[in-house]
Every structure is written in C-alpha cells, then in structure tokens.
A and B are shown apart, each in its own frame.
Chain A
Amino acid sequence: MPATLFDKIWDAHEILRDEEGRSLLWIDRHFVHEGSFHAFDTLAERGLSVARPDLTFGIADHYVPTAGRPRIADPKIAGMVERLAGNAARHGVQLFGLDDPRQGIVHVVGPEQGLTLPGLVMVCGDSHTATHGAFGAVAFGIGASEVAHVLATQTLWQTKPKRMRLVVDGRLAAGVTAKDLALHWIAALGADAGRGYAIEYAGPAVEALSMEARLTLCNLSIEGGARCGMVAPDATTLAALRDRPMGPAGADFDAAAADWAALTTDPDAVFDREVTIDARRIAPTVTWGVSPEEALPIDARVPDPAALVSEEAARQMRGALDYMGLAPGQKLTDVAIDRVFIGSCTNARIEDLRAAAAVLKGRRSRVPGIVSPGSTLVKRQAEAEGLDAVFTEAGLEWRDSGCSMCVGMNGDRVPAGERCASTTNRNFRGRQGPGARTHLMSPAMVAAAAVAGRLTDLRDL
C-alpha cells in the first residue's frame, strides 16, 4: 500500500499498539536541556535510571548567559545549568555544557554533530524539535512527563497524527526566505491549521531550499500548530550529512544512504489534507501582532479591527494592536523600532548570519541589538569569515550562543514597551520579556530594520 514519508518512519518505530490505538514508539535520539529538571526529578522520586544514556544528549542552551561566560551572575540561572550537568553526570549522559566547544542551541547542535539523521524518531522537551524534520526525521516536542517516560524507557506512547502535505510551487523571489514562506503559510491558514497533523513540506520551492533554510521552515511548524514537520531527504540532505562527527562514516554512511533513498512519499500515497502555495506570491513578511498568524507582507498596512465582521475578532485585534502600540492603517514601513535581535533555533545558523551581515556590511545600525550565533561552532565559523567584525562595526553586540533573547529566561530581554525586530519564532505577549513588543522576520529583514531604524523592505535598500 502506498505510504507517506511520515507513515514509513512511524511504522518502522512502532513496537506495539494498545487497545485505544496508541502506538508505543521507539525513540532514536533524546535531547535534554536545563528545563528538563522536572523529568529528572520524576526519575529520582521513583528510583529509576536513564534507560539509554547512549541515546540521550544533554545540551545547555535555554538558561545560559550569552555574555561574561563562563561566569554566571544570577545564582538561580547558574543553579539551572549546574543541575543539568549534575543530572547528566549522575546518569552517564553526554553533556554539551557551557565549557564545551560544541555547545549551542539543541536544534543547531543536533544537525551539526550528525546526531540528526533521516529516518529517525527524535524528541526533546522543546516545541521547536520539529526543526530536525528538515533531514527527513520524525521529530517533535514533548512535555516533562513524556521526557520522564523517554528517559525511563526510551519509548513514548503516541496516537498517530493525521498527515498534511504543504506543496510550495514555483521559486521564492530574491530577498524572500524560508522564514517568509513559513510566516506566509501560517498567516494564510492560521496558527492552529497544523493542529493534529504531521506536515510534509514538498514542491519545487522546498526542494530548492538549502539545508539551513529547510531547518528554518521545519522549525516553525509548531507556530502553525503542527508538532512535527519534515522534508524528504535528497542530494542536499546527503551533502549536509557527510563527515559529521557523530553521524555514520565510511561504509556505514553508504549503507545509511541506501536506506535513506527509500525515505520518500510514494506517488499514490494519500494525505488527510493537501495545501498548495505559490512561492512567487510571497513577499518579505513581518508580524504585526501577538500570534505568528498575525503577519503581513512588509508593504502592507496595519489592519483595522473596524473592518472585521466578528465583534469577538475585532476585540481580539484591538487587544493585539494596543499591546503592540500600533494604529490601524499605519504603514508597516513607518513602524520605528528600538532594538534588534539576531539569534535563536529559527535563524542563527551560519547562512542566517551571512545574510544579515551582507545587509549590514559597511552600514551602521540605528538601534542597539545583539547577535547570538546558533552554536559555538557557528560562532567560530562566523569569526573565521569576519562576520563578527561586520556586526560590531555596525554597532551590534557579538555574543555567545544560547536561546538568548528568544525566550526571556536567561537574562537577555527586551525591556517593557520596547519594540524589537527579531529573527525568532514567537511574537507572543511577554515572550521576549514582560511588555516586550516583538516583530518576527528574516535575518536580512532584521538587518535592514536595524539600518533604517524602522521596519523596512530590504528590497528598497
């Protein structure tokens, strides 16, 4: 029977199925971070140990500071980082800690080290785990109870989601990126359109994306409601997998590549939902509100709640505009910003930094801002290419790697009432700090906003 890519991987990991139809899935890779302490506490309470420490990897990213390292000024934050190190040591789990040259954001480090491979089932207590699906893995975020379950058993009970295929026809125009594509589809379909689905991204525009761009696209699956998003492995994937330190090498690689070649959706496979998008209609896109679905092309105006039929929707929009300090009808390109942030698991890989630096080279940022590379290795690579100098000469701070200003829990925050052009993934109220106003966009668009001091169409620069 013809099967989708998702079904093939799911079925290959099903150990058994219970009476309610839940599958007990084998988990190939499990990443834990500082926030996973609740799950380790559960193990301790029950006197259990980690079932497969060889398939479990600890990474310090959510709470680590991005300046002044290795010192951590805040004792509570230091405690979180030490707690992860203690739990990793206690259970024999390999740790990519603060002092490790490979440290970085979990969703950047996994692919970089070759831990992320096609055909695997991968989980992490972080909703952006879908990122790894870019390599043709089934990867999804889980909560602390599920983290504890995976630690204790290396398995997880899951009900199989429905399958959605998002086909992107045509090619993205110059200056339009995977970030714009993601914000575009989420705005078009809604922030809960992917709820209950695993998404496969396909079509010529997706095939043309670099590996890094695919990681950005899959990363944002959860912002469209889908726990899991993926791209079938192809020549681009294979090239990115070669010579990774912890991935297969030599004859093992060739054997793996032969297995990976079967990881495609069969021509007659049926999806529960099919959506087609025309890449040529996508412009550089920015968010104006407090949900990723509240996004528009940069040449649009702030929407007007008075134009909405539903009183409930109008009230909701007025609330969003009030929080964001925007007026209906205002041109997006007239919105002045207070700072910029370039970083996060969404857009802090080397290509992202290159794209931002290309805009900033020889220019000054009108606002303060920080750049936090996706990993320490990305940081070293960027420095080898001289990108750090481009950022610092533009007036931005060149920091260490971590989740930084995306998540508002490690000391890097946008002050209340300030407006930040950000390469991150969530414009939720208070996400970047209490009262922070976030506009999501691509790295090059953030760089353009920095240069202009307001939201800007980078094609006009």
Chain B
Amino acid sequence: MEPFRRLAALACPLVEANIDTDQLIPARFMKESRASGYGRFLLHDLRFDAEGAPIAGFILNDPAAADARILVAGRNFGAGSSREAAVYALVDYGVRCVIAPSFGDIFASNAVNNGLLPAVLEEAAFEALTDWMGGAPAELVVDLEARRIAYGGRDAAFSIPDAWRAKLLNGWDDIALTRQHAAAIETFARERLRAFPWVAPRTDGPRGGAQPRSPDAGETRAGGASPQSSDL
C-alpha cells in the first residue's frame, strides 16, 4: 500500500449529512471486476441521470472540480453497508482523503485499508473550513504526520486514531504483519479449543434446523411435513 504523508490538492465540497455507501456506489455495479476501475461508479446516481447523461449542477460534474483529490463532506459520511467498493470508487476516481465531522465505522476502517485518509474535523473547525470554501472547490494541504489541514493562510487540527495514522504513514500490510505472529496464533487457537471444546462447529449433526413452534400451533397442511424437527 502506498504510504500517505502529505497531500496538497484540490478539495471538492459535498456538504451533505449521511452520504451513505449505497450512494457512494449503487449495489448494481458491484458485480464488476475491479480491474476495469470503479471510479466511474462513484456517486453514480447523483452524477448521472437515468440515460447516463451528467446531471448539470452536481458539483463533481463541474469542470472546476475535475481534479479534486479531497472531498469535504457532511457528518456520518460512508454510513451503511460494509461494501469496500465504496472506497474503491473513491480511490479509483482519484480521491485520497475525505474530510468530515464523522464517518461510518466500517467505511473508515475500509478507507484506511486502501490508503484513503478519513480525517475527522470537529464541527466548529469544519464549519470554518466550509465557510471559507463557500461551496466551491479549493486547494488544501493535508499533513497526516502533523494531523493538520492548511487552507488560505489558516490551519486546523484533525483527528485520526494512532493505529490508523501509523498504518497510513507506513503503508503497512496487515496480512504480512500478522503472519509474523503465526506461532502465537496457533497456540491461542489450540488453547481455546482445549478450554472450550464446544466452540468447534459440530459436523455430525442432523441436516436441518428447528424453528420455534407457532404460539397458536397453526394448522399443518396435509403432506406439508417439514424436514426439520420443531421441538423447541
């Protein structure tokens, strides 16, 4: 993963609350292979009409925002599903940082795993930034090492958990890191199974699955015997 240290780039304001993952990438595009790029799906139904023509007035369609690599968005950005495709769409579009008062937890974690910085700016600082931008794209400098955003001669502190900052700064790969702990993991797994034998899924059970009995013991249709026992 490419390390993230400092980014001086054009930022595009998208100051809506609750821009959810279904808006970031509508589900119908998620069958596509990543190889062909997900950037064209980003905010698809806000950017394009039913015929696929760009919607005039949507800020990402403004030529002045064409080179944006930072988004400045409203609270609870990326709420909703765990689809990492929402992050792929942003990254493939060219976005490396989203600044918002808050993020959906799973989205933020997915972002960090793809080198995309979710920078949390508390409400007052966020308002000062968006007031300064005045609804138009503008140049910002995001310094992850110092956890600061500089704009128009001003400067604001943003927050990000230490672990995520370290990971972004170093471009760490978790799988490689974890495999160094293989022995500790194996010992833990063996010990857990010894102490709690019931944690292992049973493989010799009957196929089926009981449903709770109907409270009014509804009539059973002739010939409609259920394949599973109903013995709760």
* Interface size, chain B (Cβ < 8 Å): 80
Contact of B146 with A by CB under 8 A: no
**CB–CB A15/B202 < 8 A:** no
Q: Quick one: CB contact mask for A96-122 with B, threshold 8 Å, 1 for yes?
A: 000001100000010011110101100
For window 76-111 of B, CB contacts with A under 8 Å fall at: 76, 79-85, 87, 102-106, 109-110
Of the A-B pairs whose beta carbons lie under 8 Å apart in the complex, a sample of 13, sorted by A's number, is: A26-B189, A117-B198, A143-B113, A192-B104, A242-B232, A255-B198, A259-B198, A350-B212, A350-B214, A354-B214, A426-B22, A430-B23, A431-B22
**CB–CB A381/B230 < 8 A:** yes
Contact of A244 with B by CB under 8 A: yes
Most central of A54, A77, A143 by chain B CB within 10 Å: A143
For window 208-255 of A, CB contacts with B under 8 Å fall at: 210-212, 222, 225-227, 239-240, 242-249, 252-253, 255
**CB–CB A429/B45 < 8 A:** yes
Which of the 9-residue segments B61-69, B137-145, B150-158, B175-183 touches chain A? B175-183
**CB–CB B23/A145 < 8 A:** no
**CB–CB B211/A407 < 8 A:** no
**CB–CB B219/A386 < 8 A:** yes
From residue A422, how far is it (CB to closest CB) to chain B in Å?
Answer: 14
Known contacts A142-B106, A409-B31; is A245 also within 8 Å of B79 by CB?
no
A157 and B177 CA atoms in complex are apart in Å by 10
Q: Quick one: CB contact mask for B8-48 with A, threshold 8 Å, 1 for yes?
A: 00000001111010110011101100100000000001000
Q: Which residues of A contact B203 (CB under 8 A)?
A: 246
Which of the 9-residue segments A17-25, A391-399, A445-453 touches chain B? A17-25
**CB–CB A225/B104 < 8 A:** yes
A339 and B203 CA atoms in complex are apart in Å by 42
Most central of A20, A35, A245 by chain B CB within 10 Å: A245
Q: Can you name 18 extra interface pairs (CB under 8 A) apart from A35-B30, A409-B28? A: A21-B163, A101-B227, A114-B205, A115-B201, A119-B196, A145-B110, A145-B174, A195-B104, A227-B105, A248-B198, A350-B212, A378-B211, A383-B226, A385-B218, A385-B221, A386-B219, A408-B28, A426-B81
How many pairs of A and B residues are in contact by the CB < 8 Å rule?
A: 263
**CB–CB B105/A225 < 8 A:** yes
**CB–CB A191/B31 < 8 A:** no
From residue A41, how far is it (CB to closest CB) to chain B in Å?
Answer: 8
Q: Quick one: CB contact mask for A381-415 with B, threshold 8 Å, 1 for yes?
A: 10111110100000000000000000111000000
Known contacts A145-B110, A431-B22; is A381 also within 8 Å of B228 by CB?
yes
Where the two chains meet, the residues of B that have a C-beta atom closer than 8 Å to any C-beta of A are 15-18, 20, 22-23, 26-28, 30-31, 34, 45, 50, 74-76, 79-85, 87, 102-106, 109-110, 113-114, 161-163, 166, 174-175, 178-179, 181, 184-185, 188-189, 192, 196-203, 205-212, 214-215, 218-221, 224-232
Q: Which residues of B contact A240 (CB under 8 A)?
A: 212, 232
**CB–CB B207/A101 < 8 A:** yes
From residue A244, how far is it (CB to closest CB) to chain B in Å?
Answer: 7
Known contacts A24-B181, A291-B18; is A430 also within 8 Å of B106 by CB?
no
Q: Which residues of B contact A143 (CB under 8 A)?
A: 82-84, 87, 106, 109-110, 113
Q: Which residues of B contact A145 (CB under 8 A)?
A: 84, 110, 113-114, 174
A454 and B79 CA atoms in complex are apart in Å by 29
**CB–CB B80/A380 < 8 A:** no
Where the two chains meet, the residues of A that have a C-beta atom closer than 8 Å to any C-beta of B are 15-16, 18, 20-22, 24, 26, 28-29, 35, 38, 41, 46, 48, 52, 54-55, 63, 76-77, 79-80, 101-102, 109, 112-115, 117, 119-120, 125-127, 129, 141-146, 148-149, 152-155, 157, 159, 161, 191-192, 195-196, 210-212, 222, 225-227, 239-240, 242-249, 252-253, 255-256, 259, 290-291, 293, 312, 316, 319, 350-351, 354, 375, 377-378, 380-381, 383-387, 389, 407-409, 416, 426, 428-431, 434-435
Closest to A382 in B: B211
Most central of B106, B161, B229 by chain A CB within 10 Å: B106
